[in-house]
Amino acid sequence: MGDLTGKTALVTGASRGIGRATAERLAADGALVAVHYGSDAAAAGEVVARIEKAGGQAFTVGATLGVAGDIDTLFTGLEAGLDEHGAGGAGLGILVNNAGVMGGVAPEDTTPALFDELVAVNAKAPFFIIQRALRIMPDGGRVINISSGLTRFANPNEIAYAMTKGAVEMLALHYAKYLGPRGITVNSVAPGVTRNGNPVFDVPEAVEQMAALSAFHRIGEPGDIADVVAFLASDEARWITGAFLDATGGTLAG
């Protein structure tokens, strides 16, 4: 599946977790991948090294999202990297809006500052990244936004976070209609609990509790989500747009 040879991709938040697995998978499928990071340049560099060792092509792009000038910084780095790899003319074929921050605090402890950060990184940045990306995205392009099962599954410690993911899902609905004439698809992928570098995944009792949420009785691995994203990025998914893909391992089945 998914011959992405000759395509270019940007994966935001690809220095670890789901973003890293997605960057590695898209590169394995043949795409030249821009591995975006916020603060951890070394981790992003390691992702690029792993991709290159596996025979793929990638480069890093650093940009803190949710701050003034973030979109310009991101696209200046992206376009320089594409040019350096002789792919400037190809534009950006695949955009994965993955970077995100969680809340993890009770409703009464959610401060305006935290709320603003969640909105800025999780909702505002993806909107303006898409707006800017469309200038260089060819017809037949792909936009995939990472949402969360928490738009369908209650967790009172993540109300503000879930609000931002609800906002992100609107991008698929409305942009799908707008970009259909160009053959560009826009979809949402909603992971459930997925192992990332968080120390909670080193606590067996916690992992057991989280695993019980899934119909498969295990927690998700980053690769479980990366495979779904890779499908949406492929030509096989050309007839899917405006969709919400439940990638929670059956958590939403109740």
Which residues in this chain contact ligand NAP in the complex, by CB under 6 A?
13-19, 37-40, 64-66, 98-101, 121, 146, 148, 191, 193-194, 196-197
Q: Which residues of 61-93 are buried (b: 16+ CB within 10 A; e: fewer)?
A: bbbebbeeebbebbbebbbebbeeeebeeebbb
Q: How far is the CB of 28 from ligand NAP (least distance, A)?
A: 18
Residue with smaller CB distance to ligand NAP, 17 or 93 = 17
Tokens of 207: 């992992």
Asked if 87 and 136 count as a contact pair (C-beta separation under 8 A), the reply is no
Q: How far is the CB of 152 from ligand NAP (least distance, A)?
A: 11
Residue with smaller CB distance to ligand NAP, 168 or 179 = 168
Asked if 58 and 138 count as a contact pair (C-beta separation under 8 A), the reply is no
d(CA 31, CA 222) in angstroms, rounded, equals 19
In DSSP terms, 143 is beta-bridged to 95, 186
Q: How far is the CB of 37 from ligand NAP (least distance, A)?
A: 4
Residue with smaller CB distance to ligand NAP, 57 or 73 = 73
Tokens of 139: 């017809």
In DSSP terms, 188 is beta-bridged to 145, 244
d(CA 78, CA 56) in angstroms, rounded, equals 17
Q: How far is the CB of 3 from ligand NAP (least distance, A)?
A: 26
Return the residue nearest ligand NAP (CB atom). 17
Residue with smaller CB distance to ligand NAP, 8 or 15 = 15
Tokens of 82: 């594409």
Residue with smaller CB distance to ligand NAP, 43 or 90 = 43
Of the candidates 37, 161, 175, 178, the residue annotated as catalytic is 161
Per the annotation, the verdict on 161 as an active-site residue is yes
Is residue 83 within a helix (H) or strand (E), and if so which, with residue range? helix 70-84
Q: How far is the CB of 158 from ligand NAP (least distance, A)?
A: 9
Give the catalytic positions in this structure: 161
